[in-house]
């Protein structure tokens, strides 16, 4: 089924939500290069808690070089054997990788016409992948834009149960400098999304 221009009309606030999901996904997927650091340094927020977190991230990004971002990313997520954090839903929810949360996510990915990229070999339930999926659902990257109730169900099933815990851990991790600020933005954004979905629930 092809989407018409009319059905693809995305509200500006939803486009901003999708942009922030995609941005967090990008920051968590691989070490930030100079271009991403420059873009991050140019961000400006308002006086709200998430605006202040964005301003903090921009300040840190301005002082961060790609080499140190790479060292930090590796210490947090890769490490010798494993990084300081394991950013996967299965691990956060069960203590093990590749468990039921991943199987449930894969079923929902099929239902939403989402597939893992051929060049990606890590489990699909990483926070980076989930942020990218949510951003894509909002703007219709996998077909039609997902209705609000579909977004809410996906968020509540796969992101809400562990995202705040993960972003709080990222904020407090020993290796976190740039990523402490990423954690702060993620934590504030998840709180906003959780409350917005709660208020719009039937």
Q: Look at residue 128 and tell me if it is in a domain.
A: no
**Residue 97: inside a domain:** no
For residue 4, being part of any structural domain is answered with no
Tell whether 5 is covered by a domain.
no
Instruction: Please check the confidence at residue 121 and state whether its pLDDT lies above 80.
Output: no
| Residue 127 within a domain | no
The predicted structure's pLDDT at residue 122: 87
| Domain count within the chain | 1
pLDDT in tens, 6-21: 445 799 999 999 999 9
Which tens digit of pLDDT belongs to each residue from 25-62?
999 999 999 999 999 999 999 999 999 999 999 999 99
Q: Could you tell me the residue range of the domain that residue 21 belongs to?
A: 12-86+149-200
Angle between helical axes of 66-77 and 178-200 (0-180°, round to 10): 60
Residue 135: inside a domain:
no
Q: Is residue 136 part of a domain?
A: no
Q: Say whether pLDDT at 199 is over 90.
A: yes
Q: Is residue 60 a part of any domain in this protein?
A: yes
Burial class (CB in 10 A: 0-12, 13-18, 19+), 82: exposed
Whole-number pLDDT of residue 202 = 64
């Amino acid at each position: 089924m092809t989407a018409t221009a009319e059905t693809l009309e995305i509200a500006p606030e939803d486009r901003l939500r999708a942009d922030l999901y995609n941005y967090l996904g990008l920051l968590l997927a691989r070490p930030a290069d100079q271009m991403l650091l420059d873009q991050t340094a140019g961000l400006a927020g308002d006086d709200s808690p998430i605006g202040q977190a964005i301003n903090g991230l921009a300040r840190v990004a301005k002082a961060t070089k790609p080499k140190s971002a790479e060292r930090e990313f590796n210490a947090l997520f890769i490490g010798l054997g494993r990084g300081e954090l394991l950013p996967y839903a299965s691990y956060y929810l069960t203590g093990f990788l590749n468990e039921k949360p991943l199987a449930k996510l894969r079923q929902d990915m099929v239902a939403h016409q989402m597939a893992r990229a051929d060049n990606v070999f890590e489990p699909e339930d990483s926070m980076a992948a989930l942020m990218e999926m949510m951003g894509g659902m909002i703007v219709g990257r996998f077909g039609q834009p997902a209705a609000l109730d579909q977004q809410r169900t996906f968020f509540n099933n796969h992101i809400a149960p562990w995202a705040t815990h993960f972003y709080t851990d990222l904020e407090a991790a020993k290796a976190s400098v740039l990523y402490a600020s990423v954690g702060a933005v993620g934590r504030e954004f998840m709180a906003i999304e959780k409350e917005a979905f709660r208020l719009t629930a039937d």
